Each structure stands twice: as structure tokens, then as C-alpha cells.
Chain A
């Protein structure tokens, strides 16, 4: 079975400071890992993914994430936070086998303070 944990319900950071949103996962076999962002009354927007290759992946809006296989983690990072980054962030995992669905974490609310 697949599962995703996001240990922080809420992350607060000052504008201009670096941000990290944490994610750990559990899956049989090699994982596909994803980050999505959700703004109020909107669907989920894809930010970035790890499939294979370089452990550091870069995505939309300056976000990046680092895959750490030994720690089964996939933390989302950004060097300099913007107020407009304030939103709900979801980590998701998908098993390598074709046909497996996306399992989402509970979400982390990011607040960037001006």
C-alpha cells in the first residue's frame, strides 16, 4: 500500500526567506513523486515531479524538490518565498507499476508573511 505523510499542518515563513514543506512516503517499489498546489476554490495545479534521474528536480514558479531514497522523503523548497506562494500544498506518490493511482498527503498550508 502507498501512503504519504506531511508532518506539518501549517508552515509560516517571512517573504524573501527560504521555505521548506516536508513530505515522506511509503510505497512498494520505485516511486513517482509529485507536488501540487491548491489555491482557494481551485483545483490542484501540478508543480513538479520526480520519476528517475537527478535527485533534485526543478518545477514551476521557482520551486524545487529533493528526492532522498534512504529517508523516503521528497521535500519541497524555494530559495525566496513570495506572498503569492501562500496556498495549500499536497505531496503525492504513485507506484512505479502502470495503472496505480495517485495517493495524496493531508496537505500543508503555507503562509508567507509580508
Chain B
């Protein structure tokens, strides 16, 4: 069974530029999550989708972050414009109902 795929693995941008991350969840997993993991901290939820609907985006900085999940499968997370404090690893995960989440390898973003 293929795992959660994310791209790119690494990205370096200058502040005020825009960036986008892509995630392909495990086939059949209705729930998709985007987490932000700052160095030395636990992952923090940015947004949770159920199929192509948003379940929870309460911690998403909506003035600069956006996410979509078209057709209930792949998802993209965008940051525009980026700030220095956005430097982190962005993790995508997917799960079945009432089960564990499976994580991708993450995208390490460095904003300079």
C-alpha cells in the first residue's frame, strides 16, 4: 500500500514570496490533515478536511495561508506572502474514520 506522498521535500524562499505544497493521501482515506511542525515542537494542526469539505481550520492563519482539496483526494497548501516565522516542516496526514493517521515525510520550508 502506497503511503502519503508530499512534494517538494525541501523549499527555500525569501520572505514575502509565495509557496505551495502538495499532498496525495492514502487511497480511500477520507480525512486529510495539514500540520505545521516548528523545530523542537510537536505538530500543530493547520487544517482538517473530510473529503473535500473543511472540518477544522481554526488555527490556520487565513490572512496568508490557504488550502484546498479538490475532488476529495489531493490537497495543496499555499502561503502568500511568507514570513520568517513560517519556517517549519509541513506535514500532511490522512486517516480512515476513528483510526490512526498516516503521515508523509513532510516539506521543510526555510524562509530567508
Which residues from chain A sit less than 8 Å from chain B, CB to CB? Answer: 4, 32, 34, 36, 41-46, 49, 51, 90, 98-99, 101-107
Contacts and interface: CB of A to CB of B under 8 A. Distances in A.
B77 to A, nearest CB: 15
Contact of A34 (B33, B91, B100): B100
Most A C-beta atoms less than 10 A away, residue of B33, B35, B50: B35
Nearest to B6: A43
Interface size class of B (residues with CB under 8 A): 20 to 34
A39 to B, nearest CB: 10
B41 A44 contact: no
Given A32-B98, A51-B98, A102 B45 contact: yes
Given A99-B50, A106-B41, A107-B42, A43 B91 contact: yes
Contacts, number: 55
From A4, A36, A43, A44, residue with most partner B Cβ within 10 Å: A43
B100 A105 contact: no
B42 A101 contact: no
Contacts of B108: 41
B100 A49 contact: yes
A45 B101 CA distance: 9
